[in-house]
Structure 1
Amino acid sequence: MLQEGSTQLLCLTAGSGVPLFVRGGSRQLPFSVIGSLNGVHMFGGGQGALLSSCETEDGGRVVWRVFQDSVMLIAVCCRGHGGSCSSRMMQMRLQRLLENVWSCMVLVLGQDELLNVRNVERLKKELRSCFGLIDQLIEERQEGIMGNLTHCADSLLPSNPSPLQEAVDGFAEAADSEFGCLIVHGRIVTATEKWWRLAPAEIVLLSALVRSLSASGSTSCDYPVFLPQGSPTVAHRLLRFQLLPRADMCVLCGPTPPLHRAEAELLSRFWLPLVDTLRDCLDVGERCFPGSVPLRPDVLALLLINRETRRSVSCVQSSSYALPKARRWELLKLFYIFTVSHYFPQEEGSEESDQKDGAADFLLGFSHQPQQCYLVTDECKSYGLQTPQHQLYLLVLPSVPTYALRTIATQTLSEIHAATKF
């Protein structure tokens, strides 16, 4: 019933099974199918069995998750999403999607609105304000944004970060806030210390929300948000200001300052002297690295995670190799999912217990914790490298000798770290 490779998300009340919304997919699943998916989960619960996922006859997958005994989310994915995505990999991807969607609903509406449902029709209307962000999570619209999967902050490394850091710290302090962040091309350039202390999933979702608000075309906005882990019941104000197209300054604050005062008094004070620095930062673009960082020409794409700071950078290199840019991003995501579902631990454990147990059971077959792995396909060769501080996921040309993958990965990691201290 779904187009091949598409994902559809269903949201229902956990107790009565009343549908709240359906997102994704070119055609909505019939009500009878939605009722059956809810009914089989309820039947399992009545028999003392927790139904968390199943595989369909054609290789698709259905994943269920109940949050706070209030809301049930169901993800339905047809075979073909990502092409070679295995059953375990698809399950991990969908489980992370459900976690993100629940956190998105809390971020926009607050936990109380979702736990104390007094009027279902009113809740349906309020949930519409989440649709833009939820659709972004389902469709993974922006290439190069990996935080939805990794729960690491997608970052961009400027060539001259010091003045930008000083401006962010000063702007946040002048706005009576300890939480400030500069986002360029949808990625975090620099932020205050307290911003980095937010839960990784909160940083990822706030960045996604800023991308959504920026795409609306407004130059500034005052948006109430709840922090899913830090403050799920008390709202904060998210002030967002467009410094240049695709460059935004954000702060989380209380009742003060008014948006118009911050816009009139603080923007020019802190950011007008740094217009050229911001333009240089924009010029880094989706490569995410300054030009001083050398990358080998046989590297097609890479994802580098700093395990200590919970930040990541990713890029796709231009080359004459006939593999489209979009496909390279998809292969990079698939290799990350493959690696963390088989060999490397996720940096932030999923709350889904059967996912953790499944990975743990798989790793029991090893006498050690794997530190490196590789995968050879017709399209490219992939290599994963794990150190105490980093995880590196690398796609290279298929013509590169397999025995050279380890050397290329270790050299790439060493050169990036030496040039950026990331």
Structure 2
Amino acid sequence: MVSVMCLTTTGGMPLFNRSHGNIDTFSFSSMASLNGVHMYGKSHNMLLKSTATEDMTIVWREFENSITLIAAGVTLDEQTLSELSQAVFNTLVMFVGIEELRNVKNVERLRKDLRMSFATIEKLLQAVDLTDTTGPNSSLLNYTAVMLPPDPELLQSYVDSWSECVASMFCCVIIEGSLAAASSGWWQLDRVDRYLLSLVIPSSDASTSSDVPVFLPVKSPTVPFRLVSCTPMQGIRIVALCGPVPDLYQFEQLAIQAWKSVIDLLNDCAALYPRNIALSFVFHESVLGFLLIDDMLGKMAISGSVSGHRKPVKCPSHILRSFYYQCVHDMVVEKDETAKQTEIYWCAEHYKTFAVRDQDTVLCLLFSSVVPTHAMRLICKETLVQISQDKSISW
């Protein structure tokens, strides 16, 4: 379970409370009571940053001397909850702009405006909630989910043409919720902006088209862009960050013209879900799933179903995500080059996991429990080399 409460600093007025998981164990009133403890400490020149119970951690973060966020979670450490709080605040900036949060003049109006951010905030909470072991969730906090399709250069050429067509530097193609290709300008955006944009883009079945004003927390926190997208076919979304033009109707017409000749390629990419990597890439027969992370670019690819003929273990993507948050996360964020851990593994009753790091790239593989630990190490290293050298997937 994960819960976040947002309050205005002045007077402690609540703006919203969002939870994911078992909300009965941690109610709105509980969060409000905790804020009272925080405010009491401030009045006595004490700063309360976090506290913990036997099975829960609670973190306070204050932003711009105006907004206080309280994050509480089961099985999550202080650093992860602090990162979650930062991501939630960045989401608020994305929907209302930084000035509205720095100078809160009308609490009721701000509370109403922030409702637009709730769907994105719930995706953030879902990304760190490890208590739900049955859902299809396969996201990680602060990492844009990507797909590694076949013919990446061909798909990239169409994205570049699309970028010229709509006169936008910032364009991408989203397939089944994962980024399949993007313009160079999109990758030049700050990783914070890219990650939140990937969450704001609606799923393909939510609507056929959308036109959403967004502020970019890093690049443009005071002047909004338009995040425009349309769905030429189920599971696929064509996206661009635009200025005043083109309008939504023109955008749709341009998308039809620009992408009609590449329908087969898009369908081939969509068929990769949930494998999320080209069929030409062959894993060792003992591998059940993978998690691939590029910490420099802030992107990740994950799959609990790398083979269609093998019955996967229960909730393999959940196992990989748990492995990341409880073990791999510390290995990724470690900044001391002399103390960086490069390998780590888990052994459980029904599965094993192994992670290897090479500079900013981390590969985690999921195995059945019968695979010897020394074999996992060799397979993981060989697979990482294979990924780095395979031109057909362009990682």
Taking structure 2 as the reference length, the TM-score comes to 0.90
Report what 2:347 is aligned to: 376
**What is the rounded CA distance, in whole Å, between the counterparts of 1:156 and 1:281 in structure 2?**
8
The answer for the alignment partner of 1:353 in structure 2 is none
Contact 2:176 / 2:273 at 8 angstroms: preserved in 1?
Answer: yes
Q: Residue 324 of structure 2 aligns with which residue?
A: 336
The within-5 A match list for 1:284-295 is 284-295=272-283
Q: How many Å separate the matches in 2 of 1:40 and 1:341?
A: 30
Structure 1 equivalent of residue 239 of structure 2: 250
Structure 2 match to 1:224: 213
- 1:154 and 2:150 equivalent? no
Distance of 1:97 and 1:161 partners within structure 2: 32
Q: Go from structure 1 to structure 2 and tell me whether the alpha carbon gap of 1:280 and 1:30 turns closer, same or farther (over 3 Å shift).
A: closer
Superposed CA offset, 1:70-129 (max 9, x none): 111112224xxxxxx4xxx43333222212211111111111121211111111111111
- Within the candidate set 40, 52, 55, 1:55 is matched to 52
Q: Indicate the larger mover: 282-291 or 388-397.
A: 388-397
Alignment pair present for 1:143 and 2:136 = yes
Q: CA deviation at 1:412?
A: 1.4
Supply the distance in 1 between the matched residues of 2:2 and 2:317 (Cα, whole angstroms).
18
Specify the alignment match of 2:98 in structure 1: 111
Q: 1:19 to 1:203 in 2, by over 3 A?
A: same
User: Residues 276 and 178 from structure 1, CA distance in 2 versus in 1: closer, same or farther, beyond 3 angstroms?
Assistant: same
Determine the structure 2 residue equivalent to 1:45. Answer: 42
- Of the candidates 275, 279, 302, which is equivalent to residue 314 of structure 1? 302
Task: Determine helix, strand or coil for the equivalent of 2:270.
Answer: helix
How much does 1:160 deviate?
1.3
Residues 68/340 of structure 1: CA separation in 2 closer, same or farther (3 Å cut): farther
TM-fit CA distance, 1:308:
4.4
Counterpart residue identity of residue 212, structure 2:
Y
Structure 2 CA distance for partners of 1:242 and 1:23, relative to 1, 3 Å: same
Please give the alpha-carbon distance, in whole angstroms, between the structure 2 residues aligned to 1:292 and 1:38: 53
Corresponding residue to 2:17 among 16, 22, 27? 22
Within 5 Å, which residues of 2 pair with 1:340-355? Answer: 340-342=328-330, 344-346=331-333
Shift of 1:389: 4.6
Deviations for 1:219-241, whole angstroms, at most 9, x for unmatched residues?
11211000011101100011101
Query: Partners of 1:389 and 1:250 in 2: how far apart?
Result: 28
- Tell me what 1:33 maps to: 30
* 366-375 vs 166-175, which moves further: 366-375
Task: Return 5+ residue gaps in structure 1 as ranges.
Answer: 1-5, 79-84, 347-358
The answer to whether structure 1 residue 67 and structure 2 residue 60 are counterparts is: no
For residue 409 of structure 1, what is the amino acid of its counterpart? Answer: C
TM-score, length basis structure 1 = 0.84
Q: For the aligned residues, what is the CA RMSD? A: 2.3
Q: 3-state DSSP class of the match of 2:12?
A: coil
Moved more, 268-277 or 374-383: 374-383
Q: How many residues align?
A: 383
Cα pair distance change 1:322/1:236, threshold 3 Å: closer
CA contact under 8 A between 2:138 and 2:318: conserved in structure 1? no
SS of the residue corresponding to residue 363 of structure 2 reads: strand
- Indicate how the Cα distance of structure 1 residues 123 and 304 shifts in structure 2: closer, same or farther if over 3 A, else same: same
Deviation of 1:27 (Å):
3.6
State the one-letter code of the partner of 2:341: P
Partner Cα distance (2:296, 2:69) in 1: 32
Q: Is the 8 A contact 1:144 1:314 kept in 2?
A: no
Q: Tell me which of 67, 73, 84 is aligned to 1:77.
A: 73
The answer to whether the aligner puts 1:324 opposite 2:314 as a matched pair is: yes
Q: Tell me, yes or no, if structure 1 residue 99 matches structure 2 residue 63.
A: no
Same amino acid, percent of matched pairs: 33
Note closer, same or farther for the CA distance 1:253–1:75 as it changes in structure 2 (3 Å cut): same
Cα distance in 2, alignment partners of residues 198 and 16 from structure 1:
36
Deviation at 1:292, TM superposition (A): 0.5
Quote the Cα distance in structure 2 between the aligned partners of 1:282 and 1:32.
44
User: Structure 1 residues 262, 406: CA separation in 2 closer, same or farther (over 3 Å shift)?
Assistant: same
Equivalent-residue separation in structure 2 for 1:320 and 1:233 (angstroms): 51
- Quote the residue 2:229 is aligned against: 240
User: Tell me, what secondary structure is at the counterpart of 1:272?
Assistant: helix
Deviation per residue, 1:320-342 (Å, 9 max, x gap) = 567312xx222211211233454
More off after superposition, 46-55 vs 197-206: 46-55
The C-alpha deviation readout for 1:225-282, integer Å capped at 9, x for no partner, is 0001110110001110112111011111111111112212x12321000011110111
Q: Pick one of 125, 129, 133 that aligns with 2:116.
A: 129
Q: Which runs of 4+ in 1 moved over 4 A?
A: 28-32, 318-322
Q: Is the 8 A contact 2:171 2:186 kept in 1?
A: yes
Evaluate the alpha carbon distance shift between residue 260 and residue 410 of structure 1 in structure 2; reply closer, same or farther with a 3 A threshold.
Answer: same
SS at structure 1 position matched to 2:278: coil
Q: Aligned partner of 2:31: which letter?
A: I
